[in-house]
Amino acid sequence: MTAYWCEHAQLPDKVHRGVRVVVADGRITEVVADTKPVDGDIRLRGIVMPGFANAHSHAFHRMLRGRTHADGGNFWSWRDQMYAVTSRLTPDTYFALARGVFVEMVAAGYTVVGEFHYLHHAPGGRPYDDPNAMGDALIAAAAEAGIRLTLLDTCYLTGGLSADGHAPLDEVQTRFSDGSVQAWAERVEALRDSDTVRIGAAAHSVRALTGDQLAEFAKVVGDRPVHAHVSEQIAENLATQMVYGASPVEHLTDAGLLGERFTAVHATHLSEDDLDLMGRSGAGACFCPTTERDLADGVGPGCELAEREVPISLGSDQHAVIDPFEEIRGIEMHERLKSHERGRFPVADLIEMGTANGYRSLGWDGGRIAVGSVADLVAVRTDSRRTSGVGLGQVIFGATGADVTDVVVGGRRIVSGGVHPLGPVDDVIAESIAAVRVGQ
């Protein structure tokens, strides 16, 4: 048993002072507010938040930060640069890169990540001797970084979608494909859950699987959490309408994928019918505000989804920024720009988007400081240049990841006083980037 005494803590109802959180076997067994610490308690200063969930991540996209803006362009030109990164990734370099990215996440306050994993095979599509070598590299990287992981192993079978139908895979995309839904399912079956790992599933998008393949995929995913990129681009909507006579959301519904286990990533360009389908199905949506604005994708219908009680989670996607506070603020600020009104979401709802909703979408019972939840905690300074004078209940509007001092995952303190056990965070990240840039 371990006990953490929090100077202040964000409990489900409000911020409380002097909160003692008792942990056993990785879960919270007792929460007592307005109390004093006892001998042996680990003291956490500032305000302690539930662990933040990064519900959508592509670890290797971190290589593109600050390198795609010189010539303008759009999502599709950015994608060409992203594909170029894959040529330098092997299981060893993928592990090195992902370890640094995951350390950056933990240091910023993320305690669980959903890694949308589609880089499966060697160049040319040849499987490694271990067909899950790339997924295993991500699992090992998360373990060393100390972050909880849902590996959203992704089925990716066609090269794109236009008015002419589905295109064949190009040379780069062959690394992403298992060739069939059945081959994908057989490979994924060898992966195993653990105390800190969940094996989830993803259909890359309606562009990357035919309608028949989506329907087959829906039948083999079982009770795993399932994610897919949905309506990220207007061009995707137009192509799906022309080929299938439906929007991507309608098409996924026809395939049998929409439901309580399903999360639509981005969900940027939704019609009223799409919104109603999302609400009736019990599906969730994952917004990635810093990526969606970086790629000029557009601003999703956050308030419209919330009105239909669709749970919204948040992700950092391509990692132009790795900061849970920035993603939380982003969804609110984007809505303000759309509506010319402030306070579009209650603070409690914003916190839930960044914590419990993400945990739920990734298959974990967490993101709350409450009995029974996994014991994932984040301590945030309240005396920095950013947070001094900020109301404790509104710290999400002032803090950044730089204000995180301590991170607890499964009851184990991973970051203590800003120090990660792998060493100085800046050095770990710089070394991970250099491991991939060698030979560039």
132 sits in the region (left: phi over 0; alpha: psi -120 to 50; else beta) called alpha
Would you list the DSSP string of 358-427? HHHHTT-S-SSSSTTSB--EEEE-SSSTTTTT--GGGGGGT--GGGEEEEEETTEEEEBTTBBTTB-HHH
Burial of 218 (0-12, 13-18, 19+ CB in 10 A): buried
So which residues are the catalytic ones? 266, 317
β-strand partners of 27:
24, 374
| Sign (positive or negative) of CA dihedral 160, 170, 174, 429 | negative
Q: Which two tokens mark 215?
A: 């329907």
409 token code pair: 């995952």
Kindly give the pairing relationship between strand 15-24 and strand 27-32. Answer: antiparallel
Which residues neighbour 377 within 8 Å (Cβ) at sequence distance 6 or greater?
4, 6, 21, 44, 48, 49, 50, 51, 111, 369, 406, 407, 408
Query: 149 near 207, Cβ under 8 Å?
Result: no
Q: DSSP secondary-structure letter at 66?
A: T
Place of tokens 């590996």: 151
**What is the sign, positive or negative, of the torsion defined by CA atoms of 12, 15, 21, 24?**
positive
